Every structure is written in structure tokens, then in C-alpha cells.
Structure 1
């Protein structure tokens, strides 16, 4: 029988090692084709949650002191998002169906309710027992995604054939990390104008964007030891950012990169800007960061256009995930 969840108000090095053991075992069991993150990367993500948010952590140990389960509850302080929390719960494969998950979820929901949250969002791999676990506890599916992978070493010729022709009325610009001051206002307007398309799903709490939040988001990536790359399309007519794509490179600049948002403002769609932007990003990574071997992207099933763009670029499906939401007002 697992012990009660232990809140990690001041996590120790041993706590992080235990957390990493649970995460590694679960990933190897549930998605054996996925690379296991190094312990330093796990620690960095837990201790630098991002702008306008805090993370509450719990660790469950067994009777012999072995790590059994983990939970991270992310609480937001920015307007438009305070009502919704995100939770990432993991139970070690050897300790599943023994009550640890139920006990941990009860603790997490009590904490979210105590923080005046109206709902909790979490994500699980489609077709796994996690879906049944959530459905039995009144969670409802709100967004279905396909996780895609582009192996850069397997598609050098395809990357070389990616479109690199000028788009009349637009120019490309790129930067690392925080947006340059001269583009900050225009990029912030683009983020605000494409927030729904980038986040996807109903009422997932995207909230508003301002320049402070844009800068803080980039700084949070750097604080984890990672690197944020952005490519944007700028309208020649008015200097506004018409669309953008973001990619996060891991610490050490080797291994897998993670696709963040790609979005084009509604009034600029239909000109192929999404494909142009992402193709430019792939060429940039290939030429400037040879240690990056693959790129992972999550594509909402409802976003058929972006799925077509990703497929044209050589991304291939790996597995499917589902975002679930629990309405705390009904409990």
C-alpha cells in the first residue's frame, strides 16, 4: 500500500532522482520508442515552470521508501487563465492499480480547488488505461492530438527541396531567445491575434498576451538551459508580423527539438506562409545546429491545414494523445 502523497515544498537532490526514476520507468513502459529525458532536464522543467505560473509537486513512496508516483500541478496567475490548472501525474508501472493514482488525484484536485480553480486539464496517451482512469473520474476529452516526428538524418534530400521562394508582400526575419525590441510590439500583436489557433481546444485558458509575457516566456525557456528559435513573416505593407513559428532546442543543443507554436493571422492565410515559415526553420536548424537529430510536434486533429503542412515537411505520426478536463464545479 503506497503512503500518502508528500508535498515537495523544498525538493532535495534525492527527490529529483526519485522523480526521474518514476518518469523513466513509465516512459519506457508506455512509449518505448521515446528517448528518456536526462535527470537535469527533468529538474529544470520542474523548477522553472514558466511565466505567470507556479508548480506544486508531490511524491508518493511505497512502504520500503521506493518512489511510486509523482504529480505536478501548475497554477496560473495571468488574467484569463487563473481558473484552469494543468496536472501531470505519473505512476510507476510496477505500482499501478494499487491505489496510488486515485489517492494522488484526490490530493491534486483538493489543492486545485483550494486555489480557486474551476477546472483541471491533463494529457494522456490515447488508447492506454490512463483514458479509462480519467473517464471513470468524470474527466471529459476536450482535444485530440497526433504527436509527429521528423528525423532530420532520414530526410536530408526532402529538406533540401523545401520551398525557399519569396512571397510577394512578405519578408522573413529570425531571432534567438527574446524578441528584438523593434519587433516586440508587432510580435505581441501576432501572438494575441493567433492565441486560439496556437493553443487549440475549447477554453484551455490561453489568456491574453502582452510584451511582458512574451519576454517572460522566452526567458523561462533560457532559464531551463534550452534555446528558443523564432522565424516570423513580416508584412511589407505595414511592418506587422503576419505569422511565426517557434522551436525549442534542448540543453546541449543535441538530440530532439520541440516544436512550439506555429500560427498565421487570419487575414494573411491562404498564401502558404505556414509552409514557408516552417521550411525556413528546418533549414536554419539543419545548417546551424547539426547536433539536433529530430523534431517533435503536437498537431491538434482539428487543425487539418497544419497537419498537411507537417506531412509535406516530412513529419510522420508517432502516437496519439488526448487532453482531458475535469470540471471542479461539479464535484
Structure 2
């Protein structure tokens, strides 16, 4: 039987190699055909938490010291989200249904409650035993997501031409990394406008987007060795950000990039800016980053507008996942 789960307070290089082996085995079993992250990329993500959060890690080994499971607990530190936690438990396929996942989840639940959290979220593949595993432990499904994949060679011709279509009163801008200083305030406001995107019944807390917050988010991406690209539509009336889209290029030379946020301020909606900025991003990736062949994204099933935009761009369904939430006892 595996040892009792204990946090990795000072993970070693061998711990990260073992972690990578568990992840590779699980991905190959659960999502065959999809690329697996390199060990360097995985280590960077485990050691560089997202902006306004910190990570606690668990690595479970069996009697022969082989790694059999991993777990992460992400604790948020922003005032409006300090009551939230995200968990991820992965058990090696050869060691499932032996109680390891249950013990790990119980350990993480206790750790989250001990940190003062009132709500804990976990994501699982739709239609898999993971749903039943969480449901029998009082987790409730709160958000269904559709993951989509775009093959850049298959972008429709009409989309390829969209960046050249004039949008009266707006112009396109591009930058890599941190937002330019003169756009920081309006870019933060554009990020804040994502607060009205559909999130089902999930408790997402409140996030205060300001210029320092958007810069911090860009620094996290850079610290992982990844590259953050942004295309924005600027209002010609006041030169502010009216809408934007972000894309992250992998650090490990993987051909698959990850779509990050896309938003248009309410006052500027209805002009096709979302499709415009995203089509310009696709053109830039094709022209300047030829090693990228695919782009992955995910959206809430309730976000029909963005799903329609992605379908028009050429994205196709890849997989579906479900966010489950557990309400922890009040402290």
C-alpha cells in the first residue's frame, strides 16, 4: 500500500522526474494521441504558480519507492478569492481503484479547510469514472466545458482575410509579454470585463484587475519560459483597448499553443471585434511562428457566443470536461 500522502516541501529533481512519469502514463491512458508536456515544462508549471496564488504539491510513492500518484492544491491569495482552492489528483493507471485517490482527495480537502477555504474545485473528463468519484464525495457539477482544437492549415479562407477588413473607429495593435505602459489601464479594464462571461454555478470569487495585476500575469508566463502574445482592438476615439485576445506559446517547442483570455468591453460589443482580433492572432502565428501547428482552447458550454466564434475560425471539438465543486464547512 502507498505511503501516507505528505506535502513536497522541498521537491528534488528526482521528485519532478517521478511526477512526470505519472503524468505521462495517465495522459497516454486517458487522452491517447494528445501531446504530453516535457519534464521541463511540467516542472516550470509546478514551481511557478499563477498570479495571486500558491501551490502545495503531493507525490505518493509505493512500497518500492515508485511514484503512484500526484496531487496539487492551488490556494488563492487575492482578497476576493482567498476562500477558493483548486485541486488536481492524478493516479497512475496501474495503481487505480486501490484507494490512493480517495486518500489523496481527503488529504487535500483537509489541507484546503485548514487554509481557511470554503470552496474547492476539481476538473474531470466528462463521462469518465472521475465524475462518479467526485459525486460520491459530495462534489457537485457546476460548469461544463468544451475543449476545442484548431489546425492552422485548415483555417477557412474567409477568416484568413478578416484582418484586412476595416472596422470603422478601431485599429489593431500587437505586443508580446507585458502590456505597454500607455495601454495598461484600459487593458486592465478589458480584462475586468470578462467577469460577465458564463461560469455556471461555480464560485469564482471576485478578482480586481488593475495594471499591476495584468503585468504580474505576464511575468508568470515568462517565468515558465513561455511567450505571451496579445492582439488588441484599440478605439480610435481615445486610443484605449476595446477588446483583446491572448495566446501562449509553449516553452518546450510543442506545436500546440494555448488560447488564453478573449474579451470585448460591453460598450464595444456588436462590431465583430472578437472575431477580428482572433483572426489577426492566427495570421501572426502562421506568419511568425511556423512551428505552431495547432491552437487549443476551452469554453463554458453556456458561452455560446465564443463557441460560435471559435467554430467560425475553424476550431473543432477535442474533449469535454466538468468542473465539480465542494462546499467546505464554514470555519
Shorter-chain TM band: over 0.9
Q: How far has the Cα of 1:163 moved from its partner? A: 5.0
Q: What RMSD in Å do the two structures reach over aligned CA positions?
A: 1.7
Alignment of 1:27-42 (within 5 A): 27-42=27-42
In the alignment, is residue 54 of structure 1 matched against residue 48 of structure 2?
Answer: no
Given that 1:198 and 1:262 are in contact with CA atoms closer than 8 Å, whether structure 2 keeps it comes out as no
Task: Kindly provide the CA deviation profile for residues 157-203 of structure 1, in whole angstroms up to 9, marking residues without a partner as x.
Answer: 56534453111111111110000001011111111232332877642
Q: For residue 222 of structure 1, what is the aligned residue in structure 2?
A: 222
Structure 1, gaps ≥5 residues long: none
CA shift for structure 1 position 254? 4.3
SS, match of residue 245 in structure 2: strand
2:229 paired with 1:240: no
Match of 1:276 in 2: 276
Cα deviation digits, residues 215-258 of structure 1 (max 9, x gap): 00000000000000011111122222111100000015541100
Indicate the SS of the match to 1:8. coil
In structure 1, what is the equivalent of residue 67 of structure 2? 67
Q: Matched residues in 2 for 1:254 and 1:99: separation?
A: 34
Deviations 1:53-94 (A, max 9, x none): 110000111111111111010111112110101111111111
CA contact (8 A) 1:120 1:327 kept: yes
Aligned partners of 1:2 and 1:99 also within 8 Å: no
Measure, in 2, the Cα distance between the counterparts of 1:282 and 1:274: 13
Q: Deviations over 1:263-319 (max 9, x none)?
A: 111221111111001001000111010010100000110010111100010000011
Inter-partner Cα distance in structure 2 for 1:158 and 1:236:
25
Where 1:195 maps in the other structure, the secondary structure is helix
Q: Is the Cα contact below 8 Å between 2:150 and 2:294 reproduced in 1?
A: yes
Tell me the equivalent position of 1:139: 139
Number of matched pairs:
331
- Could you report, residue by residue, the CA deviation over 1:38-61 in whole angstroms, capped at 9, with x for unpaired residues? 100100000001222110000111
What is the alpha-carbon distance in structure 2 between the residues aligned to residue 330 and residue 140 of structure 1?
Answer: 17
Question: What is the match of residue 293 of structure 1?
Answer: 293
